[in-house]
A and B are shown apart, each in its own frame.
Chain A
Amino acid sequence: MSSRLRIGGLLLAGLALAACVEPPTAPLDTPAGVETEGFEMPEVAATSVERRAQEVTVRVRSLGCEQFGLGSGFVLADGVVVTNRHVIEQPREVTVNTWDGRSLAAEVTGVATDTDLALLQLEDRGDLPVAELRTAPVERGEEVFAVGYPGGGPAQVSPGRVLGMVDGTVLGEPAEVIRVEVEISLGSSGGPLLDRDGLVVGVVFAVEVDAGVGLAVPVETLLERLDAGELVAPGVC
């Protein structure tokens, strides 16, 4: 009896072993492709933002009644260019130079009476890239950069940060202006002040010579003037 049980046990064990050790049936996997989704290159992104910022920033040349002015500006939709009022006072002939060498004739469509802003209209809109405005106010310590044509020279990107908001009434501004630790020179007037995403947060218009810091009209003031249409015709000779 016991030997029969042993034999039966051996048979069952063999069958169990045969059942457990199955032959491989799963197909061999092919090598998976390289996963690139979510692959980020911050340096390239930052370069793109600066490149885009330079593309939307233009050089403004204004031939006035008594003076020849050079400044900066930036392009909005429909061929509108924002710059400073003091860049194009009493204009006889205004020309906009783009970063890639195009020279476009422009007409002053309006100047603000209470802030250093002016709008130009390009006669040929072309395919110029357009700047985007940020509606949210800047924050103290926020990283920003200014783009302009200091001295009428090549476009220059100047990084820095927001120092805070200061009273603009002493400078003839209706509201607070942005105080930025950014290198600003003559010729940078009218250029955009942008955040890290390339959105315009202000319009550079002055520099504190003693402190060596720049001042910019907040984009909120610009938006208010654009929305309210509180712009007048420029002076004539």
Chain B
Amino acid sequence: MNQEPWAVSSDPASLSSSTSSATPPPRRRRWPTVAMIVLLVLATVGAVTATVVAVDQRDVAEQWEERALALEAQRDTVDDQRAEVADQLEATLDALTTSERDVDELEDRVRTLADEKARAEDTATTVQVERDVFIELSELISDATGALDTCVAQLFDLQSASVEAFNRANTGQDVDIDALNARSGEVTRFCNEARTAAASAEAAADRLLRS
């Protein structure tokens, strides 16, 4: 360490030489004063620094406090938002449940109506089939009735022809037996066809009753 300019030697020799010479006015020891000044300066600097730091830290503390308050407010806001969202979710869930129930009920209704429609179509198809059968049966019965009616008419004609032939034979007139037999065969064949038609009509009626 360098010797300070205001330091005074403690050598006894020098002290004795100085006392032995002319007596100059005793030098004032200034180092305590300087030291005091230095200490004051340092203390002042330290105090100023501490004050600056303290003020700065107070500002920091205030900022942190503001931030804490802001965070608290934000937390409250978030809590409110969460509660609001929860309420909205609950309301939405209720609405969804209601909608789902409504959709299910509507779909059930659609299925019920579709089922009724399908069954009505089934019935319509069945009725259509029955109507076709009835029409067919009606035609068959009509044909059979007509044929039987014609058969009866032809039988009457044949009967009249037979009676006429019988009377002619009794009076000695010529009778064309072959023509009469041919007519009889034709009437028989026709009446058999009429009976077949009647049987078909009866079978159709029976099929209708069984279906």
Interface residues of A (CB under 8 A from B): 3-4, 7, 10-11, 14-15, 17-18, 21-24, 28-29, 31, 34, 51, 59, 61, 63, 68, 70, 93, 95, 97-101, 103, 152-155
A61 lies within 8 A of B115 (CB): no
A101 lies within 8 A of B50 (CB): no
Residues of B within 8 A of A18 (CB): 53, 56-57
- Min Cβ gap A37→B in Å is 16
Instruction: Please choose the segment from B38-46, B153-161, B166-174, B194-202 that sits at the chain A interface, where 4 or more of its residues have CB less than 8 A away.
Output: B38-46
Q: Which one of A22, A51, A97, A153 contacts B60 once the chains associate, using CB atoms below 8 Å?
A: A22
Interface residue range, chain B: 35 or more
Chain B, 29-71, contact with A by CB distance < 8 Å: what is the 0/1 string? 0000000000100110110011001001101110110010011
The 10 A-B pairs at the shortest CB distance, nearest first, are namely A101-B114, A97-B118, A154-B115, A24-B67, A14-B53, A23-B63, A23-B60, A18-B53, A31-B78, A154-B111
A10-B50, A18-B57, A31-B81 are contacts. A100–B118 as well, Cβ < 8 Å? no
A4-B42, A28-B74 are contacts. A103–B118 as well, Cβ < 8 Å? yes
Residues of A within 8 A of B115 (CB): 153-154
Given A3-B39, A154-B115, 16 further pairs, Cβ under 8 A: A7-B46, A11-B46, A14-B53, A18-B53, A21-B57, A21-B61, A22-B60, A28-B74, A31-B74, A31-B81, A63-B125, A68-B126, A70-B122, A97-B121, A153-B115, A154-B112
For the residues of A in contact with B, the DSSP-based class is mixed
| Interface of chain B residues 141 through 168 with chain A (CB within 8 A) | none
Interface residues of B (CB under 8 A from A): 39, 42-43, 45-46, 49-50, 53, 56-57, 59-61, 63-64, 67, 70-71, 74, 77-78, 81, 85, 107, 110-115, 117-119, 121-122, 125-126, 129
